[in-house]
Structure 1
């Protein structure tokens, strides 16, 4: 783990809000030269703190109006390997995230669909046929709030 100073934290917070910002723009914002800012970003990437930059698509504008979180309890843990379940669920394009969790369920999935009937089709034809799938609980996303940046970063700036 590397030591982060206040400028590093501010750069991380700024990039977590908008990863398209250039080193030049960030440098102007934090009173650094473009090369100095670029070196800081490169150091954070090399240390694995910045693992990548992602494109955030508006699912609704692409026609996907429903997001559902599924809790899945495997019915036959001993007979079906976790790898078989994970490999099968990864092949379902509507599944956005797969999280192996501890608690009431073994897995938590984030599923996007065009509408409720499209979600029902995905649930019946794909999710319920996964190897070892047992109990399934669905929670429909009503709204979502994004939190600014990763833990341990200042929220002001």
Structure 2
């Protein structure tokens, strides 16, 4: 675990809100100079506290109006390599995240599609044909509210 002071926490909160903000703008908000803020950002990145920065895309405006969470159960584990499933599912562009979980399902997938017909195509032709898939349960996302997380 990395040791964080209050300034680090403020910086991380601001970066989580706007990953594209520069060190100068962030520094002004937390009362540090641009070089001091940049050094903190670099230290946090090198320590692994910041894995990557990315844009928060509006999928609906890009033509992807449907998001579905899939619970996937893998068939008898002895016959199918978990790595084979993970490698194959990660190659599907509509699959936005793959989470190996404990509970009713083995994996949770976040899948985006243009519409329900497009999702059905992805489900039938790509996901249901993956190695080891025994069953799939789908939950369609109606709305999403992002919370600030543990630093918020």
Same fold (TM over 0.5): yes
Task: Output the TM-score relative to the length of structure 1.
Answer: 0.93
Alignment deviations for residues 92-127 of structure 1 (CA, whole Å, 9 cap, x no partner):
111111111111111111010110011111111111
Residue-pair matches, total: 152
Alignment deviations for residues 62-81 of structure 1 (CA, whole Å, 9 cap, x no partner):
11100000001112311011
1:81 aligns with 81
Alignment deviations for residues 23-82 of structure 1 (CA, whole Å, 9 cap, x no partner):
111111222111111111111111110111011111111111000000011123110110
Query: What 5-or-longer segments of structure 1 have no aligned partner?
Result: none
Query: What 5-or-longer segments of structure 2 have no aligned partner?
Result: none
- Distance in 2 (CA, whole Å) between partners of 1:42 and 1:145 is 30
Q: Which moved more, 1:133-142 or 1:71-80?
A: 71-80
Q: Which runs of 4+ in 1 moved over 6 A?
A: none
Q: In structure 2, the residue corresponding to 1:110 is in which secondary structure?
A: strand
1:91 aligns with 91
Q: Which moved more, 1:21-30 or 1:80-89?
A: 21-30
1:6-155, aligned counterparts within 5 Å? 6-148=6-148, 150-151=149-150, 153=151, 155=152
Q: In structure 1, the residue corresponding to 2:4 is in which secondary structure?
A: coil
* Cα RMSD (Å): 1.0
Q: Which has the higher contact order (CA 8 A, sep 6+)?
A: 1
Q: In structure 2, the residue corresponding to 1:37 is in which secondary structure?
A: helix
Cα distance, 1:135 vs structure 2: 1.3
Task: Output the TM-score relative to the length of structure 2.
Answer: 0.96
Cα distance, 1:2 vs structure 2: 3.0
Q: In structure 1, the residue corresponding to 2:11 is in which secondary structure?
A: helix
Q: In structure 1, the residue corresponding to 2:31 is in which secondary structure?
A: coil
- Distance in 2 (CA, whole Å) between partners of 1:127 and 1:90 is 11
